[in-house]
Amino acid sequence: MIVVTGAAGFIGSCMVSKLNNKGLKDIVMVDDFSKTEKLPNIAHKSYVEMVDRRQFFPWLRNHAAKVEFIFHIGARTDTTEFNKAIFDELNVNYTKEVWKSCCEFGIPMVYASSAATYGDGILGYDDEDQSLSFQLQPLNPYGISKNEFDKWALQQTLTPPRWYGLKFFNVFGPNEYHKGRMASVVFHAFNQVAGRAGKKAENQGSGQSGKQEGGTVRLFRSHNPAYPDGGQLRDFIYVKDVVDVMYFLMNHTGDSGIYNLGTGKARTFLDLANAVFTALNLPASIEFIDTPFDIRDKYQYFTEARMHKLRSAGYSKPFFTLEDAVEEYVQGYLQDGTTF
């Protein structure tokens, strides 16, 4: 039996699909299933049980002997939320309870960390120097919460039999329809270009405005003289690569610890926007707007995962190129509104 928390969310639901595609159906999905906007993500999944996240620990105590692995993907991921108490509850304390349960019952686990822990990147993006976690200065409460748990995990003498904390970089792909402002730039750019008006397309992405207007993509203007408009660099990674790595780690017997999960190659937001136009076979039309004040001083201008550690652990599969991933996402999912 495999447990996936956050199973109705973006990455969690894609992980369930990955497991199903590998013939695994003995899956327990954990989430807050009262949030109906996420339910299409699990409409066609194969699983044995749905457990409300508030009831998960009593459930686990009664079923631990059957659980082989836990993917703890559930988290509060809104980088524009500034209520620290929310992150303490959902990202730190809840994850500590998952960890302690895995220790008690001898269950290996993967948990979701984030590249947001690296802050402005001045200290680099090195996952091999675990002491770096104690020096990082994340730019928002979300990043702080993820780094707080990473630091706590690294200090524990009692650990699960195997554990892997994954610092997700900029993940995009199918099943993020419900994420609103926090959906990827690809998602919002598609809605702008394709003329998908409505609530989904009115929200903002982390790299551009979500306001749909005339098929033009609006990217955030640079407020850093070191970067041109649209030249802000991020390590964009397709969600199918993310779940492939997680599946690999479930079957991996190497060193536990914290691992970066990006492609190792930063690309610009202009590259990403142009890839959306190319996937739609349309000429590019791009405008720039000011970055909102509420995130301007907490904006990452450059992220790029150092991927040597994961490769050294034996993961050899190549990652999607940005262009190939955007093409598959746009043509295979966004145009039809389908899920993975």
In one-letter notation, the amino acid at residue 36 is T
Q: Which of 142, 299, 329, 333 is catalytic?
A: 142
| Known catalytic membership, residue 142 | yes
Q: Which of 38, 146, 179, 298 is catalytic?
A: 179
Q: Please give, one letter per residue, the 3-state secondary structure of 137-204.
A: CCCCHHHHHHHHHHHHHHCCCCCCCCEEEEEECEEECCCCHHHHHHCCHHHHHHHHHHCCCCHHHHCC
DSSP H or E stretch at residue 30: strand 27-31
- How far is the C-alpha of 301 from the C-alpha of 119, rounded, in Å? 10
Q: Which residue has the tokens 């999912």?
A: 333
Strands 217-220 and 257-261: unpaired
Q: Which residue in 250, 253, 315, 244 sits closest to 69, CA to CA?
A: 250
* R_g (Cα) of the chain, nearest Å: 19
- How far is the C-alpha of 194 from the C-alpha of 334, rounded, in Å? 10
- How far is the C-alpha of 236 from the C-alpha of 254, rounded, in Å? 26
Q: Which residue has the tokens 């000429």?
A: 283
- How far is the C-alpha of 170 from the C-alpha of 321, rounded, in Å? 14
What does residue 52 show for φ and ψ, rounded to 5 degrees?
Answer: -65, 140
| Known catalytic membership, residue 111 | no
Which residues carry out catalysis?
A: 142, 179
